[in-house]
Structure 1
Amino acid sequence: MNTHALDYAAIEARHDLAGNVYFLAPVNFENAAFCKIGRSKNDPEARCAQINKSSTGDVLWGVRHVITVDDHIRLERLVHQLLASCRNQGAGQRREIFHLPADDAFARASEMLSQLTDINEIPIAVPAPVVKARRAKSSGGGAGRVVKKGDEAYLPLFMSWARRLEIKGGGKPFGQWKNPYFGYSDGVEGVQWNIAVDRNTGEIRLGVNLEGSAKGGGNWLITDFIFSELARPTIESIKAKVDAGRIQLTLACDAWQGASRYDIVEQLIGGRPHLLSAIDAQLWDEILTQAKGCLDPTRQFRARAKGTVTVLDTGEKRLAAPPMGGVSPHLTIHTLVDAEPGWNDDRLDAAMDQAITRLRPVYEWVSHEGRKSHGKR
């Protein structure tokens, strides 16, 4: 077994510094323009409960945002420095109070984090919630830890994915403690392979991903994909090459706040994901045109556009606008992996090979269309 795919020793080495920076908002003051920013190695919800229990009762806090990183002590210090002009100058815990909304503080902190090279956001809550993951034989004794109890059952699956696609280093983890999805991407800037598990349903999804990005080799390949398909659609040809009834396509509109995304009502372009077999020429043109609207025409459609979005939890209307935010299109195409936790390596590899074979023509299609020169817009 290739146990190099997941570097448990490296994960273990980060445990002393890894943890959460939390942003608390008052729950008993409507539209309050202040927040509390602190850090915790453990569950931020539990820490918030401790703070409320020890408070005088004038303010009751709720967790609004959490950033989990590999050096939460330094990140908290940098966030406090960033927001120093807004900081309450009182004594005691009041020093963690800042006179701006939690959402604004989080957006500014996320933007700062996106510029840092020595602090990384991670999907690992450290220390882990009581359950240790299976040890890698070559890890030197370190144990990987996962986000929630039960996640460790899927580690052999992730190893199989990295092994069958020859993903160097095991890929890049994604998923946070509030998100039902967690998994790995190959980390490529541009068209990506990814593997994800839905904790709520147990579904295992092998995916192809392409989103708006100017990083590395990304160069806003989704712009080329959208314009190429609008000009000369090839979706019917790819449908003829695959089992289109087992492949689902989602075009989404991501709304950004710094390095993080809002959960918005308008996220799913076309209102929902679509089976590839159900996408006809008219529907394909409609969702591509909507996706084009998430790109900035003043910058050759190679940048985030400005847009008004509706926050899912509150119904609040917000303007997402560059340079701190904006909207951008995001293409995801996935198929289910017919596997279960507990299967041995041979069975997992066979199931993974079947899913990869089913989706590889789609990966090649997106890669080809996404690299076409889009010319004048």
Structure 2
Amino acid sequence: MQLGDYGIALLPFSLKLSEESRMEYLADYNDGYVYILEVKDIDLPVCKIGMTTRTPYQRCDEINNSSTGDFIWSVAHYIAVDDCKKLESLVHSKLAPLRQKGREFFNTNADDAYTALLSIFEKQTQIKKINIEEIVPQKNQLIRKYKSRKRKNTFKRIDSEYIELLQLFASLLNVKGRPFGQLNKPSFGMSDGSEGVQWNLSVSTDTESIRLGVNLEGMKYSDWPISKFILSELDNPKIAEITSNLKNPGNIFICFSRDAWQVTSRPAIIERHLGGKEFSLAEMDAHQWSNTLKEALGCLNKESNYHGRAKQTVTLENRPRSGEQVRVMEVSPHLTIWSPLSLSGNIRENLENKIAELKPVYDWIKEASASES
């Protein structure tokens, strides 16, 4: 019997069973593995926990050859049991507070996840460990051969310099780090994981550009800090003072953008830039800053004292297959101040200097977003 990745037997089309018989037939094949994958070559506090009725190594290869994988993964741990679906569900349920929304990714390292997996397994009695040999399909059970097409590996293997950079980012800021984006896509990066003002590092592999930035999203967090920042700057702007104390304000850029929300996703919109464009701090004068802040405030709900999203008419960059391209959507403002980072020379020294360069900006946004509005 050959089994699919979720314990579903591959039946020939000529085999006709009643629905009840088919479900009973499939229910007998739950032998498999619960596996834990870790990010290859990078020490990140994130792992993937899943199940398979093949081997964890086959499943890992499949994920790494998929265009939807976020990282290059390697097998860290696994356990063979007689009901891998039930154990996976149990583990996912118990570790729900660590789970990234809608995904099988968990914000913990693979070793700690394995310790938790063993503890969860030992506290239940229904699921049993089995020998690996029992999972391998027997030849006399084989109903039909399943032909799978080989998929080209679409990953762009990231340089050792990028690996070092991500590790240094977390180390120098003394944070665990929260990865975002996809390593096999044109961009990826890491934030410090804070709720509110964040440090973040973004890499564009297409343009080979790297940005270190300070970020404040239009999220509720602790009482809408983006609202507090905007109102504080409108009342008593500090941007000119901050800019005057920076060594190279022409190389630090500020972008107030408009996020449009479609449930939890943020589709690209044409009216993204508030103020019309991205500015260097050197060219952001008082008049432009005031106008940009007022436009940003308009992206928040005035009726709730600017503690919530507003609704505006926006234009989607990509024409949808169904629905209107111009539509009314919930929006919120998003502040990012960033500076380009070079990998030439000593990477650690470059990152240390860039963090020091942006530290006054971070402190300014942190203080203003925490003030009473």
TM-score by length of 1: 0.60
Corresponding position of 1:319: 328
Residue 307 of structure 1: CA displacement? Answer: 1.4
Corresponding position of 2:117: none
Unaligned runs of 5+ residues in structure 2 are 1-38, 53-61, 74-83, 90-95, 115-152
Deviations 1:335-366 (A, max 9, x none): 111224xx6xxx22111111011100000011
Q: 1:232 to 1:147 in 2, by over 3 A?
A: farther
Q: Secondary structure at the match of 1:201?
A: coil
Superposition RMSD on alpha carbons, in Å? 3.7
Residue of structure 2 aligned with 1:244, choices 238, 249, 255:
249
Residue 180 of structure 1: CA displacement? Answer: 3.1
Q: Does 1:183 align with 2:189?
A: yes
Matches within 5 A, 1:38-57: 41=63
- Structure 1: how far apart are the matches of 2:331 and 2:167? 34
Matches within 5 A, 1:1-377: 6-7=42-43, 11=47, 14=49, 41=63, 117=97, 119-120=99-100, 148-153=155-160, 154-167=162-175, 169=176, 171-176=177-182, 180-215=186-221, 218-242=222-246, 243-314=248-319, 316-320=325-329, 326-340=330-344, 347-374=346-373
Count of equivalent residues: 255
Is contact 1:147–1:177 with CA below 8 Å preserved after alignment? Answer: no
Identity of matched residues, %: 34
Residue 120 of structure 1: CA displacement? Answer: 2.0
Q: What is the letter of the counterpart of residue 100 of structure 2?
A: N
- Structure 1: how far apart are the matches of 2:305 and 2:241? 28
Flag the structure with larger Rg: 2
- Structure 1: how far apart are the matches of 2:364 and 2:104? 33
Q: What is the letter of the counterpart of residue 192 of structure 1?
A: Q
- Structure 2: how far apart are the matches of 1:365 and 1:204? 23
Residue 232 of structure 1: CA displacement? Answer: 1.5
- Structure 1: how far apart are the matches of 2:259 and 2:66? 26
Is contact 1:248–1:334 with CA below 8 Å preserved after alignment? Answer: yes
Q: What is the letter of the counterpart of residue 325 of structure 2?
A: E
Unaligned runs of 5+ residues in structure 1 are 18-39, 46-65, 79-115, 126-135, 141-145, 321-325
Q: 1:267 to 1:184 in 2, by over 3 A?
A: same
Residue 269 of structure 1: CA displacement? Answer: 0.8
